[in-house]
Amino acid sequence: MAYKDTMSAEAISALGGAVEELLHIGKGAPRTAEIDKVTGKAVYIDEYQRPGMLHGKILYSKHAHARISSINTDKAKALPGVRAVLTGYDVPDVRVGFLGDQTLLKRDVVRQYRDEVAAVAAITPEIAEEACRLIEVEYEPLPAVFDPLEAMKPDAPLVHEVDARGRPLRSNILPLPWKLTAGDVEKAKAESAYVVKDEASTTWINQCCMGTSGCVAEFDSNNNLTFVSLTNVVFGAKGRIASYLDNIGLKRKRIRVLNPVVGGSFGTKLDTDIYEFICIQLALQTRKPVKLQFSRDEEFFALPPRQAARFTIEQGCDKDGHLTFRKCEAILDNGAYTSWGATTPSVMMLPMSSMYRVPNVLFQATCVYTNNIYSQAMRGYGNPQAAFALETSMDHLAEVAGFDPADFRMINRNQPGDVTPMECKITTCPLDRCITAVREKIDWDQKRGKGNGRGVGMASLIHVAGGARIYMSDGTGIRIKVTENGELDVISGSTDQGQGSPTVMAQIIAEATGFMPEDVNMIFGDSALGLWDAGTHASRHTFVAGNAAVRAGAQVKQQILELAVQYIPKLVKSALKKQKRKNPDFVEPELDYSLIDSPEKMDIKNRFIFPKAEPDHPYFRMEARDVVRRGLHVGTGESKHVVAEVFWDPPTQMLNAEMKGNYSCTYAFGAAGVEVEVDKETGEVKILNLVSAHDVGRAVNPILVKGQVYGAAYQGVGMGLSERVQVVEGKVVNGNFRDYKILTAKDTFPVEAVIVEDPDPAGPYGAKGIGEPGLVPTAPAIANAVYDAVGVRILDLPITPEKVLAALKAKGE
Amino acid sequence: MGAFTYHKPATVGEAADLAAELHGARFVAGGTDVVVLLKQRKIDPANLISLRNVAELTYIDSADGLSLGSGVTHTRIANHDYIRARYSALADGARVVGSKQIRNVATLGGNICNAAPSADTACPLLALDAAVRILGREGEREVPIDDFFLGPNKVALADGELVLGIKLPATSEKSGSAYIKHSRRQAMELPMVGVAAWVSVSIGGSEERCRGALECEHTPDVIQLLQNEEVVLEDVRIAMGVVAPRPIRAREAEAKLKGQVVSGALFESMGDVAVSECQARDSFRCDAGYRLEMVRVLTKRAILKAIDRIMRPGREADIDLLW
């Protein structure tokens, strides 16, 4: 495929241009758009109301695997205030989900505790809940399987007897053969001077969004649907809903998907969840708007968490410490149904093939059905899981080969111009600077290798940072309209989940157009108004929407300057005439109109148009909005509106059948260093210091970049030390914030976010995506630090005091 | 949660009358346990009697030992200078319950009446030898705290009886106490194991050198130096939480220590005894084996911390310190 950039000349000049003259990029602009959130004015799904709105509730399974022998809804239906009670017998037998392996409400068999068995719509949430309690369901338990290794055995109970098309299944292994090979791993292994082999595993992690899941569905009299959803993929959600409606006989209905204010996403809003389809079905049944809102309990047991994974990883190097090969086999507990968790290997492949220079690679992943909960996306997708296996193995190999782990990483670091075994093209790559920064700031050389209960550890990362072509389109659309008052109304097809996009987009648009960030009115999350967008995921928003904004902004500026050529002379002349009328003695100045006779001779900054040759010209320097207003009021069919629309699809490749291709415009690198203290008597690990250095291309807003890194680092520490959804025989047993050990404000420790800038030619003003990277290297850095402190490798996350103490005892301490 | 009638008496008398009248009514003070139970539908009372307006239950009186009303909040206990100095274990427990918001409303009476095996004030009260003041139909009675806890969420209260407060005996300058909550994080947490210790000591050697010993970084060094100064545990009380169906006293371990000079060997054998007094169980929150390991470590640390409080009384009660 030709590697061709479609960037316009204007956009390139906007990017490249005189960098030192940037007025808004690189400034720590405050998040003014978020004041409503902290003052309680913002309308989240919790506050969202429609006239006559009903409330939905779902009744879940009481077994991990059972046949439903009877369902009796009589008592629930008789409860005053109940408007609809649905079971699998009341909804069309239509399959949904990534592999079409489930229905909305389960009629014959439940395969996990979170299986939706019935749903109620009532006039209050309390009545709906009471009605769910009145539904009587009888089950006949079936043999269940909870361990993916057990589930792979030929005699294991089958979670599904047939596939989406009704064909019989003989195995619990999913038909998703994730495999990437490059070079000759076995030959390289035989030739390696040093080889290590380890087993590492990571568990389910809840995304813990502050806002719980919810939606409101409403049909009009023609069965057109308005769906208020927290999705971060407005058009993906719309597509899935459209196909569902199609399948139940509501063909070619108009669907509008709208976002309310969203209280965090972290991956949970990528797929359209079953509760959303159920809500739509309740709205259809009742002919009323229906809201379905999760409790925190449901958020823990009925929302898919981060995909759990087990890895067997082997790596080797030569005598000089150059990596020779990497071989990794992953087994993923898919749970009972399939959501995006099953596709996390597509991202695991990136670090497995492309983190450090490694010529021979084999990565293979097997997804296995069990009667556990199923999984989806979470910040970093499969990368944090893979990085944990990879980076702990790196430390092990460095030790065996006799290298300092930081030196070992430097020896093998990626460099600009590299094409990785996955065929990813590395453009900018300041990984060396990230590792060096961590090494210095964590005081690596002084603190490492003491073995006195304190230790330091390090890990690196690579992640997509220039979009991610996981669908045929990785595009996004934006429309910028300049109003007669000089506001910029901007509609982006993407979404804002609270990551600060209104602020960052305003900075980019202000820079590109010559207006001020406060002039920009960002509108996100509306499938009717916005142009197509592939979703706010994969750390792609600033990069992709920013690139579209730079291009649209350049067009807006060009349009205004063209109007300026036409109307500034007229506005100046009429002003002079007016002055002459008022004061007959006024002497009209001799003005050189050639200063402004073409758009190229002018520019716009901080709302003012001016001639480049004389920026402070007393007559030609003019507010841009005056020209825009004049352009709107020409009359006789000549009036013109300043508006630009850009749809931008990055110049990247879809992965081919071998799972190779340059699927992002650019890649982000980074490194984390952690200093820990381990209490040898209790096994507790205390973080003393954490440094996270990240290649961000250019920081559009350094405050927000650091915010992303801080938040991600703390999430990474949670993954490393304390967070796990505990699933006992298929049941979530710690589904609340008391027993799910997310870190609290009292558990904080110093985190230093180091911004490493190396502007990327493909990024908007050089920016790369930074939403996910901070999480990725944190947990392996902790594991490596624990090893440095007390000499035990804990390769099963989270690193709990029990595991550390047991390992210390096994070692004889 | 189900529907209930909410009563707001202003005095102990009114509260007691309501309780006598409304069979099966539930008292509620801070509500941080009761409301959770209501929402989980683990209780479903027709009547709730609120104690929030009963000012009589909010006393803190240090005239003779220490008397605390059942309505005293954890925040007040944690911030009370005299309690921190002389009943340190109780302040330690009060300051680690839940979160700041919970401590601001949750009461001491509520914490012991809920009788969770993990209640953070339970071990301190056991170690400090508290008595519970109870008002029943027959009038007021006092029950030693060790007889008050019967089992998980079970206490020695008859229907309608009300806990008025807690009485703690006077303490001497040569006694100190500490509570250690062993948990996975610093807030919003139940302990995996909780241990409180109260000790009174006599010192054969130099107090100054004892203070120096406590500056050492490694626990074995601290113990060795204290042994050199002949620090004798004249009297000891140890209480342990989450290792049995209710918070318990480690009476055999106490007996082992009483009258002995502190030493590594003494702590070692005391740990074995304390472990033998536990009936820890596995749960998803923590394995029994680890809990028992922690009993060994934490009993030792709690005693050392209590000694530290005697030796260095002016010092801020640092709960993050290793001992």
CA distance A366 to A200: 15
Q: Min CA distance, A331 vs chain B (Å)?
A: 24
Among the partner residues A728, A734, A805, nearest to B293 by beta-carbon distance = A805
Residue pair A238/A424 in contact by the 8 Å Cβ criterion: no
The three-class DSSP label of residue A345 is helix
Verify that B242 and B161 share a domain, yes or no: no
Give whole-number Cα distances, A157 to A651, B119, B125, in Å: 46, 43, 53
All residues at 6 or more sequence positions from B6 whose CB lies less than 8 Å from its CB, including other chains = B48, B50
Residue B236 pairs in a beta bridge with B199
Size of interface A-B (CB pairs under 8 A): 42
Query: b/e map of A362-390 (b: 16 or more CB within 10 Å)?
Result: bbbbbbbbbbbbbbbbbbbbbbbbbbbbb
B144 and B39, same structural domain?
Answer: yes
Query: What is the residue whose two structure tokens read 């104690």?
Result: B51
pLDDT single digits (tens) A359-404? 999 999 999 999 999 999 999 999 999 999 999 999 999 999 999 9
Asked if residue B303 is part of any domain, the answer here is yes
Q: Are residues B215 and B154 in the same domain?
A: no
CA distance A238 to chain B (A): 36
Select the residue of A734, A746, A802 nearest B187 (Cβ to Cβ): A746
Question: CA–CA separation, A351 vs A200, rounded Å?
Answer: 15
CB atoms within 10 A of CB A158: 18
* Alpha carbon distance A106, A137 (integer Å): 12
Take residue A575 and report the two structure tokens written for it: 């002003």
Range of the structural domain that residue B224 is part of:
191-311
- Residues A529-550 have pLDDT tens digits of 999 999 999 999 999 999 999 9
Residues of chain A contacting B285 with CB distance shorter than 8 Å: 734, 739
DSSP state of A301: H
pLDDT digits (tens, 9 = 90+) for A619-628: 999 999 999 9
Q: Dihedrals φ, ψ of A186, to 5°? A: -65, -40
Q: What is the structure's pLDDT at A34?
A: 86
Both B160 and B20 in a single domain? yes
Last residue of a domain, one of B130, B153, B168: B168
Mutation site for B-interface testing, chosen from A802, A805, A808, A809 by largest number of B Cβ within 10 Å: A802
Residue A5 has pLDDT above 60, yes or no: no
Higher pLDDT among residues B317 and B69, named by residue: B69
Strand, helix or coil for residue A67: strand
Q: Is residue B228 part of a domain?
A: yes
Same domain for B16 and B146, yes or no, is: yes
How many angstroms from the chain centroid is the CA of residue A208?
14
Residues B132 and B207 in one domain: no
A297 touches chain B (CB under 8 A): no
A45-48, long-range: CB < 8 A, 24+ apart: A45/A211, A45/A214, A45/A215, A45/A216, A45/A228, A45/A230, A45/A260, A45/A262, A45/A291, A45/A293, A46/A211, A46/A212, A46/A214, A46/A293, A48/A216, A48/A228, A48/A260, A48/A291
Q: Which single residue is written with the structure tokens 């992690």?
A: A205
pLDDT over 90, % of chain A? 95
DSSP H helices in A355-455: 383-401, 405-411, 431-441, 444-447
DSSP string, A511-553: HHHSS-GGGEEEE--BTTTSPPB--S-TT-IIIIIHHHHHHHH
Please state the length of chain B.
323
**The pLDDT of residue B316:** 59
How are beta strands A54-60 and A290-293 bridged, if at all?
Answer: parallel
Report d(CA B22, CA A92) in Å as an integer. 51
Is B23 in the same domain as B134? yes
Measured distance CA(A759)–CA(A773) in Å, rounded: 17
Contact A808/B at CB under 8 A = no
User: Do residue B44 and residue B147 come from a single domain?
Assistant: yes
**B206 and B304 housed in the same domain:** yes
The pairing of beta strand A290-293 with beta strand A214-219 = antiparallel
With CB atoms and an 8 Å threshold, state whether B182 touches A802.
no
Residue B200 lies inside a defined structural domain of this protein: yes
Interface check A726 vs B, CB under 8 A: yes
Q: How far away is chain A from the Cα of B191, in angstroms, using its nearest Cα?
A: 11
- pLDDT for residue B265 is more than 70: yes
**Does A802 lie at the interface with B, CB-CB under 8 angstroms?**
yes
User: Across residues B215-235, what is the average pLDDT?
Assistant: 95
Looking at this protein, which amino acid is placed at residue B295?
V
As for how many domains chain B has, the answer is 2
Do residue A681 and residue B185 have CB atoms under 8 angstroms apart? no
In CATH, what number is assigned to the domain containing residue B297?
3.30.390.50
Given a cut of 80, whether residue B38 has pLDDT beyond it is yes
Note whether B294 contacts A733, CB cutoff 8 Å.
no
Burial of A541 (0-12, 13-18, 19+ CB in 10 A): buried
How far apart, in Å, are the Cα atoms of A547 and each of A498, B216, B307?
Answer: 20, 59, 65
Residue contact A743–B185, C-beta within 8 A: yes
Pair (B41, B140) in one structural domain: yes
B83 touches chain A (CB under 8 A): no
Domains of chain A: 9-30+475-648 (3.30.365.10), 54-142+213-293 (3.90.1170.50), 309-470+654-810 (3.30.365.10)
- Residue-averaged pLDDT of chain A: 95
Task: Write down the H helix ranges in A606-682.
Answer: 624-632
pLDDT at B137 over 90: no
Nearest to A694 by CA among A374, A445, A463, A488: A463
Mean pLDDT of the A137-157 span? 97
Confidence (pLDDT) at B302: 97
Asked if the structure places residue B134 within a domain, the reply is yes
Is B239 a domain residue?
A: yes
Residue A744 to residue B286, Cβ atoms within 8 A = no
Given this model, what pLDDT does residue A746 score?
92
Residue with tokens 């003070």: B29
Q: Which residues contact A587 (CB under 8 A, 6 or more apart)?
A: none
pLDDT category at B322 given cuts 50, 70, 90 is very low
Going by the DSSP 8-state scheme, the letter that residue A342 receives in this structure is G
Name the nearest CA neighbour of A344 among A421, A276, A267, A274: A267
* Residue B290 to residue A805, Cβ atoms within 8 A: yes
Residue B196 and residue B161 share a domain: no
pLDDT of A10: 46
Residue labelled with tokens 């690596």: A444
Among A552, A561, A196, A153, smallest CA distance to A370 is for: A153
Amino acid at A590: E
Residues A101-115 pLDDT 10s: 999 999 999 999 999
What are the pLDDT digits (tens) for A413-424?
999 999 999 999
A747 contacts in chain B (CB < 8 Å): 185-187
**Residue B270 covered by a domain:** yes
Q: Parallel, antiparallel, or unpaired: how do β-strands A309-317 and A194-202 relate?
A: antiparallel
Does a structural domain hold residue B251? Answer: yes
Q: Evaluate whether residue B182 is within a structural domain.
A: no
Mutate to test the interface with B, among A130, A744, A748, A809 (most CBs of B within 10 A): A744
Residue pair B131/B143 in contact by the 8 Å Cβ criterion:
yes
Contact A54, A291 (CB under 8 A): yes
Distance CA A685, CA A678 (A): 5
Q: Which two tokens stand for residue A728?
A: 């006992």
User: What pLDDT score does A13 carry?
Assistant: 46
Closest-CA residue of chain B to A722: B184
Yes or no, beta carbons of B286 and A802 under 8 Å apart: yes
> In terms of Cα–Cα distance, which of B71, B2, B16 is closest to B49?
B16
What average pLDDT does range B25-54 have in this prediction? 95
Rounded to an integer, what is the distance from CA B200 to the centroid of its chain?
A: 18
Tokens of A756: 């490493």
Parallel, antiparallel, or unpaired: how do β-strands B231-241 and B248-249 relate? antiparallel
Side-chain half-sphere CA neighbours of A25 within 13 A: 28
Per-residue confidence band for A3, with pLDDT thresholds at 50, 70 and 90: very low
**Among A693, A717, A7, A65, which residue's Cα sits nearest to residue A373?**
A65
Q: Do residues B126 and B204 share a domain?
A: no
CATH number for the domain that contains residue B123: 3.30.465.10
Is any Cβ of chain A less than 8 angstroms from the Cβ of B297? yes
The pLDDT confidence band at residue B185, using thresholds 50, 70 and 90, is: very high
Output the pLDDT for position A20.
Answer: 55
* Contacts of residue A275, Cβ cutoff 8 Å, sequence gap at least 6: A58, A116, A213, A215, A292, A294, A302
CA–CA dist A670, A433 (Å, integer)? 9
